[in-house]
Amino acid sequence: MTPLDTLSAIEQRRSVKHYDPAFVMPDDHKQRLLSLALLSPSSFNIQNWRFVVVDDPEIRQKLKAAAWNQDQVTDASLLIVLCANLNSWAEQPERYWQTAPEEVRHFLVTAITNFYADKPQTQRDEAMRSCGIAAQTLMLAAKSMGYDACPMVGFDPEAVARIIRLPENHVIGLMVAIGKAVQPARPRGGQLPMDDVVIHNQFP
């Protein structure tokens, strides 16, 4: 396949709902997508995202039921539940900067602690930001590789947490289904004009 350039992938990416259930994505493509997702930025490089790759058919069926029976959960070649560890900032934070000079590592580890300690809302906000950035990385990488994708928040998060055995102090951001489309996305519903969404310097 001929990869798309980044700008074309952004322009052509759509949320596709219908996938070929018979198509099997090569393992090297899956690994490539995940390796690119791992390059997504995260605050202070804490890499708090966790990618639950669900390939067990029985678990997929359970997730489908928890997602109001949306077909992409079972039909897509790759289904990833993007989660985040709320405690990443406190779990050996020096490892996030293990190759940095000692003085730099010490400064950043101290900054991480000061930024996140005793701030549960900040921890959760950053978890959701990280999941969102990683999801977009996955979707654009998938599109550039000839696949389509669908970000999903239409599911019961408590049920999904039980199904994937979500650890304590973790949260679910969203799911992403990736595969070979059998139907194109619907036409764009309508983009707001740039003047409605771009504010220069300050709100009026």
**Token match 């930025």: residue?**
41
Residue 32 CB neighbours (<10 A): 14
* Residue 173 vs residues 68, 81, 129, 153, 198: alpha-carbon distances, Å: 17, 8, 9, 8, 26
For 162-171, what is each residue's pLDDT tens digit? 999 999 999 9
Closest CA to 122 of 174, 93, 87, 158: 87
How many angstroms from the chain centroid is the CA of residue 74? Answer: 18
Strands 49-53 and 78-85: antiparallel
Token pair recorded at residue 116? 């996140």
Residue 79 phi/psi, 5-degree rounding, is -125, 125
State the Cα–Cα distance between residues 25 and 28, nearest whole angstrom. 8
For 105-142, what is each residue's pLDDT tens digit? 999 999 999 999 999 999 999 999 999 999 999 999 99
Name the pLDDT band for 2 (thresholds 50, 70, 90): confident
Look at residue 179 and give its three-state secondary structure: strand
Which amino acid does the sequence have at 173? G
Can you give the pLDDT at residue 187? 87
Can you give the pLDDT at residue 52? 98
Name the pLDDT band for 11 (thresholds 50, 70, 90): very high
Domains of the chain in start order, with CATH, are 6-185 (3.40.109.10)
Q: What is the pTM of this model?
A: 0.96
Largest CA distance in the chain: 54
Sequence-ordered list of residues with C-beta below 8 angstroms from that of 150, at least 6 positions apart, any chain: 15, 16, 17, 72, 76, 176, 177, 178
